[in-house]
Chain A
Amino acid sequence: MADVKVNGKPAVKRRRSAFRIGEGLSRRAYVGIAGTVFAAFVLLWWASTASGLIKPIFLPGPDAVWVKMVALAADGTLWVDAGASLYRMMVGFLLASAMAIPVGVLIGCFRPWEAAIEPFVDFVRYMPVVAFVPLTILWAGTSDIQKFVIIWIGTFFQQVLMVMDNVKRVPPDFVGLGRTLGLSEFKILTRIVLPSSLPGIWDTLRISLGWAWTWLVLAELVAATSGLGYRITVSQRYFQTQTIIGYILFLGILGLITDQSMKALERVLFRYAARR
C-alpha cells in the first residue's frame, strides 16, 4: 500500500480493523479464537461444578466425565456404540443423498418435473419426523432398517429442495453457452449443469449430514439395542449422568470432525474457486 502524504508528512498507516465487513483473518488467529471459546466453555463448566453450584447428579464436572469416558473407551463400549451408530448414519445418509441428488437435479432443470415433485416434497418436508418414529417401529421394529428409514425421512426431503436450488443457481448463460456450442441437452446437463452446481451440492451434503446424526440419535433414543443414543437412554435409567454428558460431547466432537473434514475436502475438490 502506498503511503498517503498529508501536508508533506507521511500519513499514519492505519491497520484495518478485523471487524470490517468481509475483512480477512489469519489462520492462527482463527484457530486461536475458536480454541479460546472451547477452553472458556470447559472452564465455565468446571467452575460451576467444582464450586458446588450445580450438584454432580445433574451435571458432573469435566474431570468426572473424562474419567468415565476413558473407562468406556478402554473396555470398548464406546467404540462398539460409535461403530453401530456411524454405520447406521452413513447408510441412511448415503441412501438419502443418492436419491436426493438425481431428483434435485431433475426438478432443478425441468419445470414439469418441478411441478410434479416440488410442492409435494414441500408438503412432506413439514411433517414432523418425530411423529414417524412410532410408525416406523410398527413397520420395521427396532432393526437397523428402522434407523435408515428415519434418517431418510429426515434428510431426503430437505436435500431434494436444496439440491434443486443449487441447480437453479447455475447461470443461464452457461446453459446458453452449451447450446451455442451445439451440445445436446444431456451433455449440457452432465458437462455444464452438474459440474457447475457441484460445490453447492457438496455444501448441501455437508449441512444435511448434521441432520442425519440428529435423526439417528433420536431414533436410537426411542428404540434401539445398541448405538450412542441407546447408551444415553440406558445411562439415564441408572443416573449415570457422566456417561450421558460424555456421549453428548462425543457426538459433538464427531460432528465437528466430519464437518471440518468435509470443508477441508471442499477446499481440495473445488480448488479452482479460490483466488490465487
Chain B
Amino acid sequence: MAAPKLSITGLEKWFPSKSGPVQVLADINVELADNEFVSLVGASGCGKSTLLSIVAGLQDFDDGVVLIDGAPITGPGLDRGVVFQSYTLLPWLTAIENVEFALKAAGKSAGECRDIAREHIELVKLTRFADAYPAQLSGGMKQRVAIARALSYRPKMLLMDEPFGALDALTRHQMQELLTRIWEEHRLTVLFVTHDVEEAVYLSDRILAMSLHPGRISASFHVGLARPRTQDVISTADFIALQKDVLKAIRAGSQQAEELEA
C-alpha cells in the first residue's frame, strides 16, 4: 500500500475555559490515502472545525502526530488549500482578483496569474462575474470563487469546512456536482467537514463520524457507491441505508455524551 497522504495518530486537543482545560479532541487516529475523499460528520461542537484547522496548520495541538506525506506539519502551507466555513473573499478585490491574490502569494508571475485565474473562474462557471466584487455575489457564487481560489495554486490536499452550509438545497446540489467533477478531474485528496449526512454520502469515499465531549472518531463508513455519481443515486436503497447507518452513529455519539453529562 502507498504511504498515506495524511496521517494523524493519537491527536489530543484541549481548550482553556473558566472551569479549567476542556478536552475537545481525544485520541484521533485518521489516515487519508492519496486522492481519497473523506468526510467528517458529527454534531455541532464536536470539534470538526478544530480538527480541520489543525490539519491546515492554523491551530496548535497538545499531543499526537500529524504527518503529511510522512513529514510532520510545521504550520500552514500552500500544499493544503482551505475553504473556510465563513465567506473569506477579500471584499476590495473582484472575483478574479481574489484568485489572483492566491496565485501571487504562491509566487506566480503576473501574466501566469491572469491566465490561471481566468481558467479557474471558468471552471466554477463564473466568467460573467469575474469582475464583480464579493458584495455583488450571492453566497453560492462566493463559495465557488473560494473553491476556485483554493484550487488555483494546485494544493495536493483540499480542506473544506462546511463550504455549502449556508446555501439553499438547489445551489447546494449544484455545488456538490461541481466539486465532484473538479475532484475527479484533479485527483485531489479532500477532507470535507459537513453536518449534512446526505452530502457526506454523496461526495465521499469514506465517512468518519465523530462523537461529542470529547470529540472522537466513533465510526468509519466505506462508501461503495459507484462513480461517477449523479444526484439520482440519492434515492437508491444502498444510499438510503448507508445514510441511516451514519445518522445512527452520529446520534449514538451525541447521546452517549448527554448521558455522561446527566
Do residues A272 and B91 form an inter-chain contact, with CB atoms below 8 A?
Answer: yes
Q: How far is the CA of A166 from the CA of B192 in the complex (A)?
A: 33
- Contact digits for A229-266, partner B, Cβ 8 Å, 1 yes 0 no: 00000000000000000000000000000000000000
Q: Is the CB of B135 within 8 A of A274?
A: yes
Query: What's the nearest-Cβ distance from chain A to residue B48, in Å?
Result: 15
Contacts of A183 in B (CB 8 A): 105
Q: Are A171 and B90 in contact, CB atoms less than 8 angstroms apart?
A: no
Q: Is B58 an interface residue (CB 8 A)?
A: yes
Q: Are the C-beta atoms of B135 and A196 separated by less than 8 Å? A: no
Nearest CB of chain A from residue B68's CB, rounded to whole Å? 13
Give the most central of B56, B88, B94: most A CB within 10 Å: B88
Which listed residue, B58, B91, B94, B136, touches A180 by the CB 8 Å rule? B58
**Chain B interface, DSSP helix/strand/loop, else mixed:** loop
**Is the CB of A195 closer than 8 A to any CB of chain B?**
yes
Q: Does B220 sit at the interface, judged by CB under 8 A?
A: no
The verdict on A173 contacting chain B, using a C-beta distance below 8 Å, is: yes
Contact of B82 among A174, A177, A270, A273 (CB under 8 A): A177
- Interface residues in B115-169 by Cβ distance below 8 A to A read 133-136, 153
Contact status of A275 and B58, CB under 8 A, knowing A173-B84, A179-B76: no
Q: A180-B56, A274-B135 are in contact. Are A173 and B80 (CB under 8 A)?
A: no
* A179 and B57 contacting across the interface, CB-CB below 8 Å: yes
Q: Is the CB–CB distance between A182 and B88 below 8 Å?
A: no
Asked if A272 and B106 sit within 8 Å, CB to CB, the answer is: no
Number of interface residues of A (CB under 8 A): 23
Contact of B106 among A181, A187, A191 (CB under 8 A): A181
**Contacts of B62-108 to chain A: CB distance below 8 A:** 75-78, 80-82, 84-86, 88, 90-94, 101-102, 105-106
Rounded to whole angstroms, the CA-CA distance of A274 and B136 in the bound complex is 8
State whether A180 touches B81 (Cβ < 8 A). yes
Complex CA gap A276/B137 in Å reads 9
Which residues of A65-84 have CB atoms within 8 Å of chain B's CB atoms?
none
Across the interface, do B76 and A182 meet the contact criterion of CB distance under 8 Å? Answer: yes
Query: Which residue of A has the minimal Cβ distance to B53?
Result: A176
B92 touches A181 (CB 8 A): no
CB contacts under 8 Å to B, within A181-209, are 181-183, 187, 191-192, 195-196, 198
User: Which residues of B are found within 8 Å of A195, using beta-carbon distances?
Assistant: 90, 92
Knowing A174-B90, A195-B90, A272-B91 touch, does A181 contact B75 (C-beta < 8 A)?
Answer: no
Return the contact of B84 from the options A176, A187, A270, A274 (Cβ within 8 A). A176
Question: Is B84 in contact with A272, judged by CB distance below 8 angstroms?
Answer: no
* Smallest CB gap from B136: residue in A: A276
Give chain A nearest CB distance to B190 CB in angstroms: 15
- A residues in contact with B153, CB < 8 Å: 181
What chain B residues lie within 8 Å of A272 (beta carbons)? 91-94, 133-135
Q: Which residues of A contact B102 (CB under 8 A)?
A: 181
Given contacts A176-B53, A182-B106, A272-B133, is CB(A192)–CB(B78) below 8 Å?
no
Contact assessment for A181 and B78 in the assembled complex, using a CB-CB cutoff below 8 Å: yes
B135 touches A273 (CB 8 A): yes
Give the distance to chain A from B247, nearest Cβ to Cβ, in Å. 29
- Does the CB pair A180–B90 fall under 8 Å? no
By a CB distance below 8 angstroms, the chain A residues around B133 are: 272-273
Contact B86 A180 (CB under 8 A): no
In contact, A181 and B105 (Cβ under 8 angstroms): yes
Q: How far is the CA of A177 from the CA of B86 in the complex (A)?
A: 11
Inter-subunit contact B105/A182 (CB<8 Å): yes
Contacting residues, chain A, for B81 (C-beta < 8 A): 180
Closest to B80 in A: A180
Taking each of A173, A191, A275, which has the highest tally of chain B beta carbons within 10 Å of its own beta carbon? A173
**In the bound complex, do residue A173 and residue B86 qualify as a contact, i.e. CB atoms below 8 Å apart?**
yes
Contact B90 A192 (CB under 8 A): yes
**What's the nearest-Cβ distance from chain B to residue A197, in Å?**
11
Binary B-proximity of A114-152 (CB < 8 A = 1, otherwise 0)? 000000000000000000000000000000000000000
Chain B residue numbers with a CB within 8 Å of A178 are: 105
Which B residues are CB-close (under 8 A) to A192? 90
- Is the beta-carbon distance between B58 and A179 smaller than 8 angstroms? yes
Which of chain A's residues has its CB closest to B132's CB?
A276
24 A-B contact pairs sorted by A residue (CB < 8 Å): A171-B88, A173-B84, A173-B85, A173-B86, A174-B88, A176-B53, A176-B58, A176-B84, A176-B88, A177-B90, A179-B57, A179-B76, A180-B57, A180-B58, A180-B77, A180-B78, A180-B80, A180-B81, A181-B78, A182-B105, A183-B105, A192-B90, A195-B90, A196-B91
B positions within 8 Å CB-CB of A? 53, 56-58, 75-78, 80-82, 84-86, 88, 90-94, 101-102, 105-106, 133-136, 153
7 closest pairs, A vs B, by CB? A181-B105, A272-B133, A179-B76, A180-B82, A180-B76, A173-B84, A173-B88
Given contacts A176-B84, A182-B78, 15 further A-B contacts (CB under 8 A): A176-B58, A179-B58, A180-B58, A180-B80, A181-B101, A181-B102, A181-B106, A182-B76, A183-B105, A191-B101, A192-B90, A195-B92, A272-B91, A272-B92, A273-B133
